[in-house]
Amino acid sequence: MKVVAVPSIPSKIARALYSGADSVLNSLLDFRPELWGLPPFQDWVGKALPIEPWYLGGPVIKGFGRGSKVLGIPTANLPTAALGSQLSQHVCGIYLGWAGLSNRGVYKMVMSVGWNPFFDNAAKTVEPWLLHDFPDDFYGEELRLIVVGYIRPEANFSSLELLIERIHEDAEIAKAALDLLPFSSYQDDKFLTTPLAKQ
Ligand code: ADP
Ligand code: RBF
Ligand code: MG
């Protein structure tokens, strides 16, 4: 028998406790039957896994100010306290979806959810990168997100260059997958553009 473990305790502690397992996964989203001689899952669409969509929104706030914009990867941060239990329900990882800014439009989006192991952050955050070139910042504007698919677990990298390269790959996966059903259907969802008072 082969054993694939999905611990419910923090992975730093779990590593040692589960050393007897053949593989330790962050979540079942990462289970690949074909690695174990089983037929592959059929539900991946263009390198992404459709999920029950989650809806989140809020005003764009200042993030860690680590200058991710300098890396060419600005991430529009939401106030995580307001997301509360919604955030804790979701597995850490890299996701794709649609982003709406009420006065601007709807854009493809790729984001990380978690502690960003490369930077070892103290808080679980959502870091959405809108796949569009904006002429200016939009701090304070209401941002709406519909998260529709999963790409991969969060990872650590031996260099910043490798992290940046991987994030650009994620963006290409998101751009391509968001043109496909079921992902594409959510871009017309009113949630993305409806002003708060009118909801
Ligand atoms: P912070 O640490 O404050 O989040 P970033 O370097 O991550 O700083 O930059 C994020 C800000 O850049 C966003 O809040 C937004 O105002 C702006 N921005 C410009 N273009 C984009 C984009 N394509 N995706 C996300 N944010 C963008
Ligand atoms: N940080 C990590 O430590 N590991 C990752 O695997 C990772 N993947 C990311 C994927 C995407 C699509 C984005 C937008 C960010 C990712 N980051 C990751 C987070 C990145 O370190 C962080 O957003 C920026 O440094 C801004 O603080
Ligand atoms: Mg940011």
Catalytically annotated residues: 127
| pLDDT for res 66 | 63
Cβ atoms 166, 172 nearer than 8 A: no
CA distance readout (Å), 75 to 31, 82, 173, 181, 184: 28, 18, 17, 26, 22
How far is Cα 73 from Cα 62, in angstroms, rounded to an integer? 14
| pLDDT for res 177 | 98
Residues whose Cβ atom is located within 5 A of ion ligand 3: 63, 75, 77
How far is Cα 164 from Cα 157, in angstroms, rounded to an integer? 10
- Look at the pTM and tell me if it is higher than 0.85: yes
Given a cut of 90, whether residue 82 has pLDDT beyond it is: no
Of all ligands present, the nearest one to the C-alpha of 67 is: 1
65: left (phi over 0), alpha (psi -120 to 50) or beta: left
24-34 residue pLDDT tens: 998 999 999 99
Residue % of the chain over a pLDDT of 70: 95
Using a 6 Å cutoff on CB, does residue 118 contact ligand 2?
yes
Provide the sign of the torsion angle of the four alpha carbons 78, 80, 82, 88, taken in this order: positive
State the average pLDDT over residues 118-127: 80
Residue 117 CA to ligand 3 center (angstroms) comes to 15
12-26 residue pLDDT tens: 788 789 999 999 998
Residue 84 CA to ligand 1 center (angstroms) comes to 22
Residue 109 CA to ligand 1 center (angstroms) comes to 12
State the average pLDDT over residues 143-164: 94
Count of CB atoms situated within 10 Å of the CB of 60: 19
Indicate which atom in ligand 1 lies nearest the CA of residue 69: 6
Q: What's the distance, CA 183 to chain centroid?
A: 14
25-34: Cβ within 8 A, 24+ apart:
25/153, 26/91, 26/92, 26/93, 26/153, 26/154, 27/91, 27/93, 27/153, 29/91, 29/93, 29/150, 29/153, 30/152, 30/153, 31/4
Residue 59 CA to ligand 3 center (angstroms) comes to 13
146 pLDDT band, cuts 50/70/90, is very high
Pairing between strand 23-24 and 105-114? unpaired
How far is Cα 97 from Cα 146, in angstroms, rounded to an integer? 6
Nearest CA, atom 8, ligand 1: 65
* Residue whose CB lies within 8 A of the most ligand 1 atoms, among 75, 78, 143, for a mutation test: 75
Where is pLDDT greater, at 181 or 102? 181
| pLDDT for res 178 | 98
Average pLDDT of every residue of the chain: 90
Ligand 1 pocket, Cβ-based, cut-off 6 angstroms: 60, 62-65, 67-69, 74-77, 129-130, 132, 134, 137-139
Cβ atoms 176, 187 nearer than 8 A: no
